[in-house]
Structure 1
Amino acid sequence: MSLFIPTWSSDTRLDGKTAIVTGGNTGIGKETVKDLASRGARVILACRDMAKGEQAACDIVREVKGAKVVTRQLDLADTKSICQFAENIYNTEKALHYLINNAGVAVCPSARTVDGIEMQFGVNHLGHFFLTFLLLDLLKHSAPSRVINLSSAAHFFGKIHFDDLKGEKDYHHFRAYAQSKLANVLFTRELAKRTEGITAYSVDPGFVNTDILRHIWRPLLDIVKNFGFLIKTPAEGAYTTIYCTVTPENQLVTGGYYRSAIRVVQYNCCENGCYGVYKNPLLPKTGCELRVKFHT
């Protein structure tokens, strides 16, 4: 158990609500699905591997009395799969109150999505960006609704390399990861400003002991694991996601970056983008560039 979990609990019910959790078959995502289901929400568990998704859903239904969990196939590295998933949602769902963009890959070897994009940027940001865009009408129809994007403290080290988004020039696994997590935060900011009836939050789950750690440099991982109090369990890692899902809107800041459930990092913004929280002097420019590139 980590020492950095604040004392917070909520008995908020979500009966009659529908949520999508990407990557809900394992780790933080599975714990998120379990918690939402225990509150009465109908949860759509979206994942690439249907067999693993069905097994996770069965586990949750067995553990949570009355859980309403369904599994849908979604490969965030393939835009066709994302389109098919969104079409299925529109055909089967009357409402969508929570979109939790939880799935991700971290510090992995160089790889490409089906569409030729560097894997971490493609899955962690662009895949979720596209999914959110496709589901916006349903989210607006279901307002008030929320979008929660899982980011990371790694975003503080990120910079958007517009001249090399595919990672072809000089790929570095951590730099690519940090770039994708920075994009998550900036996307959350813009989504919050540009939509009515939809609030958006980016969440830092902390250092969590899940399968996503498998690509981390082994000596570093061994050192960190020797300090067990630094590492959260998947349930602890889901804590802030749940906080941003069930806490009343008037107690949250839309567009905010949350970690440890009750700590929000405020960003200073100008008309050309967001900056001020970053210590790297190159990052204010990066924030402005991202807005220009995505919205002009």
Structure 2
Amino acid sequence: MIPKVLTIAGSDSGGGAGIQADIKTFQELDVYGMSAITALTAQNTLGVQSVYSIPIDMILEQLASIHEDLRPDALKTGMLFSSFIIEAVSDKIKEYGWGNLVVDPVMIAKGGAMLLQEDAIKAIREKLLPLAKVTTPNIPEAEVLTEMTLDTMERRRKAAKILQSLGSESVVIKGGHGEGDTLIDLLYDGVSFIEFKSDRIHTRHTHGTGCTFAAAIASFLAKGQSVDIAVKNAKQFIQKAIENELGIGGGHGPTNHWAHRKASVSL
């Protein structure tokens, strides 16, 4: 059987993030990709010009159609925009019994545009995280969710424990916003910590890295991999995507989703 993976997220008209990045990732990792669109954005590498939220009824109809015929083996959430959408989507994920949920708590676009309404933070904590197999905040997102400053590794570990205590089985605090030339993605599974280290790639072409990373984790979970192996392989996938930049656009350009295949990396 072909693994099926669902993304519940916003659409990026520039193709670098959101459902576009997710579907590209699914295709590259040999899983069947599906989508439920939560919002439309007008954006490019220079920034987000506007955001339009999809009516909740339409979001729920997309989820119902998928559940009826194409039950996912894993899924990920990205930009959910409002507390109303987060609560409605969370209720349906729970009702349908969908597992292997990867929560990417998208809050701010690379160009600085806010992609999450203020009232949505509480809904993420209380409704979405308790359903998650893995939650993948970057440092600023983890700071918002935990109301802490994460300027040391010790604080990141404490934040990971807090997020895991909210219900997520595992937490990965991504290190891209950290200091230095060595980045550390910190995985906590409720028992132990694993650090995934990589060299910082000095490039402005990093649009969609969080979406792609989470989509890759969901893809590997759908294939039956354990969380630690799925995170390790997703890390390799996104590292190749950043290293082999496309050089598209005048701002924060997209990552290269086919880089791992062209490099013949076995994941």
Asked if TM exceeds 0.5, the reply is no
Decide which structure has greater helix share. 1
Q: So what's the TM-score if we normalise by structure 1?
A: 0.39
Q: So what's the TM-score if we normalise by structure 2?
A: 0.42
Decide which structure has greater strand share. 2
